[in-house]
Amino acid sequence: MSNSNDTSFEQNFMPGLAVDTVIFGFHEHSLRVLVLRYKRTDIYALPGGFIQKKESLDDAAKRVLKERTGLKNIYLQQFYAFGDLARFDNAPMKKILQGNALKVSEAQWLLQRFISVSYYALIDYTKAVPIPDTLSESCEWYDLKKMPKMMMDHNLIVTKALATLRENLDRKLIAFKLLPQTFTMNELQVLYETILGEKLLRTSFHRKMQNLGILEHVDRKVTGGAHKAPYLYRFVAGRKQGRK
């Protein structure tokens, strides 16, 4: 978000419309989500922003992701629009404005009702550099199982994003977006199990991945003896995985 005045917002941004992003990363067998904490408040939220009048929804979401992670050209999927009347509550935004020493007025642009078009993104955890926005004091990774209570319906947005990610795992072959360029079969299985929230039979999972024809054998890992070191794989480029 920006701390620009109302006149600037009204001139440059679409009224009543916002984007919120669920940015997933995978680290130490844990699925994580980027979360903002606003200055001098106990309010947490997903990274989000507004849509410029000469900007598409997708471009707005890409801009938010670049501003919060420093990354470009990452996997991005629009998954739902949140517009329930019950989500409208401007009390948290009043606290956020007060925490940033900004004027609070009932007619203020930021205090009006917004419909959120939500996206989820899959990024390599090791490459992201979390950056807070101008109203926030932090932008940090949280374990999906230990998420803070966020403003409005942002926890629900995360739940819906995870459900959509699970539905798309096999159909769009997108789990690889959360891994480094090379990985072991065990690392891939752990990622699938973490996303799905269930254990998978090792032999069946390995056979399934091999039969898909999407993995390329690279070499053995350097750790351990040569006869024990696991093989490294990488995803075969060019296979359709949905849009970016």
Distances (CA, A) of 237 to 166, 173, 241: 22, 12, 10
Neighbours of 93 (CB within 10 A): 22
Is a pLDDT exceeding 50 seen at residue 3?
A: no
What are 237's two structure tokens? 């480029």
* pLDDT value for 203: 94
| Per-residue pLDDT tens over the stretch 121-173 | 999 999 999 999 999 999 999 999 999 999 999 999 999 999 999 999 988 88
| The token pair that represents 23 in the structure block | 């940015």
H or E stretch including 59? helix 57-69
Q: Is the pLDDT of residue 11 over 90?
A: no
Q: What percent of the chain has pLDDT over 90?
A: 70
- Report the alpha-carbon angle 215-70-12, nearest 5: 125
The per-residue pLDDT for 99 is 93
Q: Tokens at residue 69, please? A: 């992670």
Could you write out the DSSP letters of every residue in 126-143? GG------TTEEEEEEEE
Please report which confidence band the pLDDT of residue 9 belongs to, taking 50, 70 and 90 as the band edges.
low
pLDDT of residue 105: 84
Please report the pLDDT score of residue 4 as a whole number: 46
What confidence score (pLDDT) does residue 213 get? 86
Is the pLDDT at 2 greater than 50, yes or no?
no
Which has more confidence, 222 or 99?
99
**61: pLDDT confidence band, cut at 50, 70 and 90?**
very high
pLDDT at 240 (0 to 100): 45
How many residues are present in the chain? 244
Q: Are strands 48-52 and 215-220 parallel, antiparallel or unpaired?
A: unpaired
pLDDT attached to residue 78: 97
Domain annotation for the chain: domains and CATH numbers: 6-169 (3.90.79.10), 179-235 (1.10.10.10)
Q: Shortest CA distance to 142 belongs to which of 226, 17, 20, 45?
A: 45
**What integer pLDDT is reported at residue 244 of this predicted model?**
41
User: Span 12-27, mean pLDDT?
Assistant: 94
